[in-house]
Structure 1
């Protein structure tokens, strides 16, 4: 059975229930994630005991806004489209990932998941196959370089990528220019106070490796085929990780039915029990297995 055959087994009323969005569920989850970020920022800003450890926690909380921005490209975290759009844009600014551009990059990824030459995620270095490439990838440095380069590219009006429709080029360009303006203001603020450096910029650098390790598990070492049950991995993990990642460890479920909002993925997971072809018992187990099969050079 492939993912399409599985979808065909779902009764229409079950599918309708799974697809139902909710502002309340999304806003409640966002309030919790946002409160964590603001609380850690206060901890760091006031220099409370162990504030240095809070830098790492803050970085992880900030970087995992990627999973929310990712969901917003599908317009699923919230029932109201305007909320999805603005939350996605704000997350994009915070993690240096332009939302308008990423929407089309990510939709191309869903359309051609793990298909070489078509899936934009399968670019050089995206799935490292040597120890050297793996270490570089996990540092997050290629992420920062690629994203900053993309923002400048978009702002200059150059081609943002074949997967971005011509009709959206103006929006992509305008967004990138606003982002650069915001970042210029941030840099200027650092000459007055280092506050944003300590509660935002430095934590993002520290937290990015954890996001890189997390994202590798989604499709790393999966088959280059069109079946979502084979080209995507669901990772069994604890509630804290599921919460920070907006339930995206249920990744086979998400790719099978991307219109299902994050808060209904556990229910979809229950419907899929016994049909998963690629899973992992936690991110430590996945990482250990990935490294054990990597090329030495």
Structure 2
């Protein structure tokens, strides 16, 4: 079986160089669309228009999927201009309670040790539930909110998050966490004047997190514990809406194989790699059904 390194060696070098080109315009257009969606739902909710309760869930999904933007920013690929990647990642992290500086190191360790049970921080954090009870708790999103609140507090106190963070980075993590906590304090104070942020941000984020958890499970859930990216990662074929919200990250084998390719190059990279992908799913409904069937069989 071909592994991802052998596959890369067969792809046209010129085409790979072309796909790896960064582009501010593509990133800014996509960011404008994502933030426009959030702003539109916020106005809908604030005005109390028809079916505004349903808009709470849609708003939450749009906000929580800013995780995929932050994820891309750790690779410095959504934008060509470096500071755009840095500040878009920080802003997204603030909205979803996930410190960007910390997540950068956590995520790069995940790329170095993808699906390695002994070294992948995603697995060490218990990110892939293997019982019905664990699955329900995981999909609720509550554990991730608690984990990120605790991580932010620990970073602010100067605690060492782990071996995946170099010691030279600890002052940056501490400063970032303290700024985030100060901003959250201002948000809390604003609620004394108006509950608006509860309705357009905080409550929607709680409602939207389960959808992000379901989406993220497909990236590596029930994949092989091997080094080959064609097997230890899953590409999920889905519709334009999900691909838009997730910044094309459903093309996840492609992303792990060549993380320097920006989000807008992943569909074209898929056309080069599609015949060699080992672990794929025809959609998120199909993946979830398969995951639940596995849990059901194991429960017996």
For the criterion TM > 0.5, the same-fold answer is: yes
Q: Give yes or no for the alignment of 1:40 onto 2:41.
A: yes
- In structure 2, the residue corresponding to 1:35 is in which secondary structure? helix
Q: 1:22 to 1:124 in 2, by over 3 A?
A: closer
Determine the structure 1 residue equivalent to 2:253: 252
Note if contact 1:242-1:248 (Cα within 8 Å) is conserved in structure 2. yes
Note if contact 1:125-1:133 (Cα within 8 Å) is conserved in structure 2. no
Determine the structure 2 residue equivalent to 1:283: 284
Q: 1:296 aligns with which of 286, 294, 299?
A: 299
Note if contact 1:55-1:199 (Cα within 8 Å) is conserved in structure 2. yes
Structure 1, unmatched stretches of 5+, are none
- In structure 1, the residue corresponding to 2:154 is in which secondary structure? helix
Determine the structure 2 residue equivalent to 1:237: 238
Q: Take 2:95 and 2:3, find their aligned partners in 1: how far apart are those partners?
A: 37
Q: Residues 1-297 of structure 1 correspond to what in structure 2 (within 5 A)? A: 1-294=2-295, 295-296=298-299
Deviations 1:85-116 (A, max 9, x none): 00000000000000000000000000000001
- In structure 1, the residue corresponding to 2:129 is in which secondary structure? coil
Q: CA deviation at 1:162?
A: 1.2
Q: Take 1:157 and 1:289, find their aligned partners in 2: how far apart are those partners?
A: 42
Deviations 1:30-65 (A, max 9, x none): 000000000000100111111100000000000000
Moved more, 213-222 or 5-14: 5-14
Q: CA deviation at 1:124?
A: 4.8
Q: CA deviation at 1:296?
A: 2.7
Q: CA deviation at 1:117?
A: 1.2
Structure 2, unmatched stretches of 5+, are none
Deviations 1:202-227 (A, max 9, x none): 00000000000000000000000110
Q: CA deviation at 1:193?
A: 0.3
Moved over 3 A (4+): none
- In structure 2, the residue corresponding to 1:259 is in which secondary structure? coil
Q: Take 2:210 and 2:132, find their aligned partners in 1: how far apart are those partners?
A: 15
Q: Take 2:200 and 2:87, find their aligned partners in 1: how far apart are those partners?
A: 22
Q: Take 1:11 and 1:292, find their aligned partners in 2: how far apart are those partners?
A: 40
Q: Take 1:80 and 1:67, find their aligned partners in 2: how far apart are those partners?
A: 18
- In structure 1, the residue corresponding to 2:152 is in which secondary structure? helix
Note if contact 1:89-1:98 (Cα within 8 Å) is conserved in structure 2. yes
How many residues end up aligned between the 2 structures? 297
Q: CA deviation at 1:273?
A: 1.9
Note if contact 1:69-1:99 (Cα within 8 Å) is conserved in structure 2. yes
- In structure 2, the residue corresponding to 1:293 is in which secondary structure? helix
Deviations 1:145-167 (A, max 9, x none): 10000000000001122101111
Q: Take 2:279 and 2:101, find their aligned partners in 1: how far apart are those partners?
A: 31
For the aligned residues, what is the CA RMSD?
A: 0.8
Q: Take 2:201 and 2:38, find their aligned partners in 1: how far apart are those partners?
A: 9
Q: Take 2:246 and 2:186, find their aligned partners in 1: how far apart are those partners?
A: 29
- In structure 1, the residue corresponding to 2:250 is in which secondary structure? coil
